[in-house]
Amino acid sequence: MKKICLLFVFFLGICVISCSREDYVKNVEGESKIVVEGWIEQGDVPQVILSRSIPINAVIDSTTILNYFIRSAKVTVSDGENVEVLSVKSDEARIPPYVYSGSKMIGEIGKTYVLKVEYLNRVIEATTTIPSVVPIKSVKYVKVNPADTTGFIHLEFDDLVKEKNYYQIATRVDSIEPVFVPALYGNLNDENFASPSVSLQVSRGIYVLSKTKYKPYFTDGDLIYVKLRTMSKTGFDFWNSWQNEIVNGRSPIFPANTSLKSNIKGGLGIWEGYGQNTVSIKTQKK
């Protein structure tokens, strides 16, 4: 019962904030841009997170961060035949705890999807296509020393030699990470492969909202989900620039400038279609 009451208070607070947010946005319109993180994977519904870029001189803490997320936009996705208006859905395990999500449109390989965001006096658009899926051939938990209690993921897959491909490897540790996290240096361009049979070590990515110190390895007892995504050159360029921000210690969530690559017309961020194959591996606990 306590959990329900706390959630009620939380959402009541959100409603109070939203009454003044649009006036606030108008005041800073000249110095902020809408930031989009949107995706549609093969076999899943479209999902979009919207926020505003944070001015360099802004003070951000746990009481003000939610003011920069946008929940009152009209977000639509079209596949050339059908149009769906996405609904805001809440997920208390995530930050932000709400995502614009579809319910009817399911991503298909080869289809093109057009995103349109309407917010205040702004219209933002982007287009993406879902590429072919490449299956994971094998995934193993490997230790440098058998006596260790930590290790890395060893992944194998076969590149599609008749296609130009870009890949992203992402992982999620069950009960610890609410979302898939791009693996460190997990963005791959197939022109760098020595062979169509790809075999590599996967280091854990940096979850920027983690409450614990970053560690590049996994731990005995972890249930790990491993995702191999195919994506466009646009997606590859975006995620490489995102990774550079992470590695250099800057914040990629609310970019104050245009350092991130983008395919968003009228804003910043990414709208990307992904082919995906996901497997899980349960590591043994000593």
Q: What confidence tens digit (pLDDT) does each residue in 133-186 have?
A: 999 999 999 998 989 999 999 999 999 999 999 999 999 999 888 889 999 999
Say what the pTM is: 0.83
- Does residue 47 lie within any of the structural domains? no
Residues 6+ apart with CB under 8 A from 12: none
- Does residue 179 lie within any of the structural domains? yes
- In contact, 38 and 231? CB cutoff 8 Å: no
CATH of the domain at 153: 2.60.40
For residue 129, what are its two tokens?
């296509």
Average pLDDT across the chain, whole number: 83
Higher per-residue pLDDT: 9 or 184: 184
- Does residue 185 lie within any of the structural domains? yes
Number of structural domains found in the chain = 1
Q: State residue 3's pLDDT score.
A: 27
- Please check the confidence at residue 30 and state whether its pLDDT lies above 70: no
Higher per-residue pLDDT: 153 or 60: 153
Nearest alpha carbon to residue 86 among 68, 103, 108:
103
Q: What is the mean pLDDT of residues 18-31?
A: 42
**What residues make up the domain containing 180?**
136-252+274-282
Q: How many residues does the chain have?
A: 286
CA distance 84 to 89: 15
Per-residue pLDDT band at 246 (split at 50, 70, 90): confident
Q: What is the share, in percent, of the chain residues with pLDDT greater than 70?
A: 79
Q: State residue 2's pLDDT score.
A: 28
Per-residue pLDDT band at 57 (split at 50, 70, 90): low
196-245 pLDDT per residue, tens: 999 999 999 887 666 677 888 999 999 999 999 999 999 999 999 888 87
- Does residue 235 lie within any of the structural domains? yes
Per-residue pLDDT band at 25 (split at 50, 70, 90): very low
For residue 284, what are its two tokens?
């043994």
- Does residue 18 lie within any of the structural domains? no
- Does residue 77 lie within any of the structural domains? no
| β-pair partners for 75 | 117
62-73 pLDDT per residue, tens: 567 778 889 999
- Does residue 44 lie within any of the structural domains? no
- Does residue 267 lie within any of the structural domains? no
Q: What is the mean pLDDT of residues 43-62?
A: 80
Q: What is the mean pLDDT of residues 238-258?
A: 66
Q: What is the share, in percent, of the chain residues with pLDDT greater than 90?
A: 62
Q: What is the mean pLDDT of residues 246-270?
A: 71
